Every structure is written in C-alpha cells, then in structure tokens.
Amino acid sequence: MQHVPPLRAQVEDGRVSRLRQADFSEKRGFPKVNLRSFHIAESRAFSLVRPLKWKEIRPVQDLALALYQYFVYPILTLILFALFAYVIMSWLFTFNVLSPYGQIARQIYSMLESVLEPLLRPIRNTIPPLGQLDLSVFILALLILFFRDWLFPQLLFAMPG
C-alpha cells in the first residue's frame, strides 16, 4: 500500500487550502503548484456557496418558515386526507358496500368523525345542507387548500426580514 503524505494547510489571502505535501516537493517529480491559480479555480468552483453576512440572516422568518414547512403543512395535509377518507367511508356506508354494523369500519369512521366534526360543525351552522347534499366537507377542503397553499406562504414571504 502506498504511503500518502499528510495534508498541509496553506494560507494565502485569508483563505485556507489543503494540499498534500507531495505537491510541494520537487524530489518526487511533482510540479510545483501555483497557489494563486488554485485559489482562483477554487473560488470559481464554490462561487455559489458563500457565507451569509449577519444582516442577511432572518431568524424570525426562518423559524416561521420551518414551523410551517415541518409542522403546519403536514398537519393540514393529514387533515385533508382524513377528510377524503371520511367522505369515501360515508359513501361506502350509504351504498351498503361496507356494513355499518362492522366493528372495525365503525371504529375507523367514528375516529374520523371525532377529528373532523369540530371542524365541520361551524361550516354546517353557517351554510345549511342543500337537500341531501352537504357542502361543508367541500368548503372545508377548499379552505384547507387555500390556507395551506396560498395564504400561509404569502404571509411568510411578506414578513419583514
């Protein structure tokens, strides 16, 4: 196995570059490294990665964005999926595809109902059903999509930074 010499840090113009000691020795037949051209190539390669200045860091906006992205958005999406499951199960009960007397189906439906009924009740009190058609589920789905996909992102990016 070939011995690789340890890395050596070279400081030039406030930058630190790590090069092998062999690159500095002429005994092994390696050419000398022009550190100026090495730093120019390094700065071009990493021109997109730069440290942020203190004024560019917006901790309040970053915290709000992280809370929205990792907490609010998934919960609203989960409520939306629960709403779709609630509607599909109610249709399956209505058309006798699922037996309303089955214990597992009834437990799942009652769990979905206990989660969604507090959200649907104020909409049902405001907008009465049209005959047998209950629009509260549709309106709740539209409200969730409106808040999740438009209003919350608009509020986050309008925050003073």
User: Looking at the predicted structure, is the pLDDT value of residue 10 above 50?
Assistant: no
- Give tens-digit pLDDT for 48-107: 444 445 455 577 888 888 899 999 999 999 999 999 999 999 999 999 999 989 999 999
Distance CA 135, CA 80 (A): 15
Instruction: Find, among 79, 70, 96, 64, the residue nearest to 142 by Cα.
Output: 79
pLDDT given for residue 131 in this prediction? 87
pLDDT given for residue 93 in this prediction? 93
Give, in order, the Cα–Cα distances in Å from 20 to each of 11, 56, 111.
14, 36, 64
Instruction: Find, among 139, 92, 96, the residue nearest to 112 by Cα.
Output: 92
Q: What single-letter DSSP state applies at residue 102?
A: -
User: Looking at the predicted structure, is the pLDDT value of residue 37 above 70?
Assistant: no
3-state SS class at 82: helix
pLDDT given for residue 65 in this prediction? 87
DSSP bridge pairs for 20: 7
What's the whole-number mean pLDDT along residues 117-130?
A: 93
pTM, full prediction: 0.62
Model confidence at 132, in pLDDT bands (50, 70, 90)? confident
Determine phi and psi for 13, rounding to 5 degrees.
55, 35
96 vs 6, residue with greater confidence: 96
pLDDT given for residue 3 in this prediction? 55
7 sits in which H/E element = strand 7-12
Please report, rounded to a whole number, the percentage of residues in the chain having pLDDT higher than 70: 64
DSSP bridge pairs for 15: 12
What's the whole-number mean pLDDT along residues 129-145?
A: 93
User: What are the helix (H) ranges across the chain?
Assistant: 35-45, 59-67, 73-94, 103-126, 136-146, 152-157
Distance CA 148, CA 80 (A): 10
Give, in order, the Cα–Cα distances in Å from 130 to each of 9, 93, 144.
76, 20, 22
